[in-house]
Structure 1
């Protein structure tokens, strides 16, 4: 993930273009922390979230979901509940901000990526967005 502040706008870029910016166990908490950090920074007036490459965010990183043996052994209900909590706390971090949030969609926003875009106040979509 990349973040830079330009003209009081925090430009947060999901930077996993090889995975279509899928949310992983590392990216999701890092994004949540960055949203909160920028939200509390008085030099930031707004947040803009985008994705590197041709996608905004393809959703959850399905390949990584089964990589943790302990999590994979948990009952499906527990795994689904865990994913819901992760998504709710991520979108909740955006919804709870007192600053404008913008999603700039260069391409696909699917699953959790669509929820992320919808949690922003404004969405700007390129012609290639889906």
Structure 2
């Protein structure tokens, strides 16, 4: 599959659905058009049976620079109209991205190059795994513009770095390097810029190669275990394990494992 969109491209190969933000002239800013294009691509990803991992990447120098500041200055785009208009536009626009990524049954990987700023930082945080180029920079920078995150950043950032550090990053709007992001466990690895595309693709292919039914359950189990108490996590683990142990996928995978050992 190779479906083209003026702002977003998608490609499915080896079980990996690669979604590329392709508006380098704006820093892949999340204006109305980009928001609609990205939300549509992510929603389609959730309905693509052959996609076992989603790789989110960008063309150009930056991952995503968040809202378009020039539009903000004009009072255009997301900012146009009354308070109610803006709330509705957020729910029907940016929040589509949040829900689509959160509801993905398959794992998602973000390959962060250049700047991931404001809503762009939040977009990366929504993915299950993040890998960064050494030149990547991150900032929860809304206060620089007299705003707060309207796409869910406060929820995601707190769960990644903890309350105190989320407060610091939010209230200072400071930029942090890829290395600092790795220390804070915002990204799982940092690679040389010229290796980002290959390393992210390899990681996504490795994930996509896992048994698909178990892969989806594993993602759900890790996520829900992180947000529940131990008794609930154990009950969910037992239910999932029972389903998998009695299924054909498990038996086939075990047979292949033993054959490969021989």
Which bin holds the TM-score, normalised by the shorter protein?
0.7 to 0.9
1:25 aligns with 2:38: no
Deviation (angstroms), 1:81: 2.1
Aligned-pair CA distance for 1:61: 2.1
Q: May I ask how many residue pairs the two structures share in their alignment?
A: 126
1:83 Cα offset (Å): 5.4
Residue 100 (structure 1) shift: 0.4
Secondary structure, counterpart of 2:55 in structure 1: strand
Aligned to 2:22: 15
1:55 aligned counterpart, secondary structure: coil
2:114 maps to which residue? Answer: 107
Higher strand share: 1
Q: Could you tell which deviates more after superposition, 15-24 or 77-86?
A: 77-86
Q: Which runs of 5+ in 1 are unaligned?
A: none
- Do structure 1's residue 78 and structure 2's residue 122 form an aligned pair? no
* Other structure's SS at 1:57 match: coil
For 2:117 and 2:27, the matched residues in 1 are separated by 10
Residue 93, structure 1, aligned to residue 106, structure 2: no
Q: Does 1:122 align with 2:129?
A: yes
1:9-44 per-position Cα deviation (integer Å, ceiling 9, x unaligned): 111110011111101211111111111112211111
Instruction: Give 1 or 2 for the bigger CA radius of gyration.
Output: 2
Task: Say what the alpha-carbon RMSD is for the aligned residues.
Answer: 1.8
Q: Which has a greater percent of helix?
A: 2
Larger relative contact order (CA 8 Å, sep ≥ 6): 1
Deviations 1:87-110 (A, max 9, x none): 322111101110101110011111
**Deviation of residue 63 (structure 1)?**
2.6
Q: Tell me the distance in 1 between the aligned counterparts of 2:35 and 2:94.
A: 8
**Does the aligned pair in 2 maintain the 1:91–1:115 contact within 8 Å?**
no
Moved over 6 A (4+): none
Q: How far apart are the structure 1 equivalents of 2:135 and 2:88?
A: 32
